[in-house]
Amino acid sequence: MAGLSKQAKLTSEMACMDFRNLSEKAGKISALKSDCSSGKLDSCYRLGFAYELGFDVDRDLKLATEILLRTCHAGQKDACARMRGEKLRFTRN
């Protein structure tokens, strides 16, 4: 990057940061999907919530509803509250 202008260096660095963020986000969603598939209901709730609001994924209300409904039926209380339309505070661990 020695021959690049200051603006070009910043643009290049920002592109690398965006790629890392995408990689981190994909890793988080991948971990939630894996944990959910393993029956970890809190991960299923978080995954459904992520799809509902578009956190780190494209917003998909149909998929969010499917995940949250299945999670509620399995006994996860926050998912049931979400399906009833209650607004819950989402906390990240």
Residue 14: which CATH number?
Answer: 1.25.40.10
- Please report whether residue 51 resides in a domain: yes
Q: Per-residue pLDDT tens for 18-29?
A: 434 545 667 889
Among candidates 5, 71, 69, which has minimal Cα distance to 36? 71
Residue 91 forms part of a structural domain: no
- Domain extent, residue 22, equals 6-83
Task: Specify the 3-state DSSP secondary structure of 26.
Answer: helix
Residue 93: inside a domain = no
State how many domains the chain has.
1
- Of 73, 56, 54, the closest CA to residue 64 belongs to 54
**Segment 44-79, tens digit of pLDDT:** 999 998 999 898 899 999 999 999 999 999 999 999
Question: Between the CA of residue 84 and those of 9, 12, 38, 68, 87, what are the distances in Å?
Answer: 50, 46, 25, 11, 9
Model's pTM, two decimal places? Answer: 0.68
